[in-house]
């Protein structure tokens, strides 16, 4: 996943979510998406997800984008999904803004479950 381009990483994340039981998974068009890359639903809960394929830790800006995008798309849950990990300020902001953080370890565990 570290070698994927941005849009390919979004597609990868969308497929992973579908494999985990998310439905109505839609990759947004890119420009004017308010930072949201994937819209999805699971068990009646709607999600707005920001995908970040980075070389280093993901900061507060991604959390802010997920927060704004969650409201823009009128979704119940906002999340940031990344191939990396999050900075301490990003974790703190996510807790205050109630944004889920799905880091590399979380994605790895999702992929491992698929292999079983």
Domain edges within the chain: 6-111
Q: What is the CATH number of domain 6-111?
A: 3.40.1350.10
Q: What is the pLDDT of residue 34?
A: 79
Whether the model clears a pTM of 0.75, i.e. scores above it, the answer is: yes
CA distance 114 to 116: 6
How many CB atoms lie under 10 A from the CB of residue 106?
15
Identify whether the C-beta of residue 38 lies closer than 8 Å to the C-beta of residue 17: yes
Q: What is the pLDDT of residues 56-88, one digit of tens each?
A: 999 999 999 999 999 999 999 999 999 999 999
The residues of the chain scoring below 50 in pLDDT are none
Give the C-alpha distances (Å, rounded to integers) separating 39 from 3, 34, 42, 116.
23, 12, 11, 26
Report whether 29 contacts 46 (CB < 8 A): no
């Amino acid at each position: 996943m570290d070698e994927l381009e941005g849009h390919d990483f979004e597609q990868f994340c969308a497929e992973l979510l579908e494999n985990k039981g998310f439905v109505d998974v839609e990759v947004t068009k890119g420009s004017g998406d308010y930072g949201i890359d994937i819209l999805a639903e699971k068990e009646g809960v709607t999600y707005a997800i920001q995908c970040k394929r980075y070389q280093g830790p993901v900061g507060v800006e991604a959390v802010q984008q997920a927060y704004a995008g969650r409201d823009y798309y009128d979704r119940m849950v906002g999340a940031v999904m990344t191939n990396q990990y999050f900075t301490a300020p990003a974790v703190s902001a996510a807790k205050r803004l109630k944004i889920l953080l799905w880091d590399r370890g979380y994605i790895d565990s999702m992929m491992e479950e698929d292999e079983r």
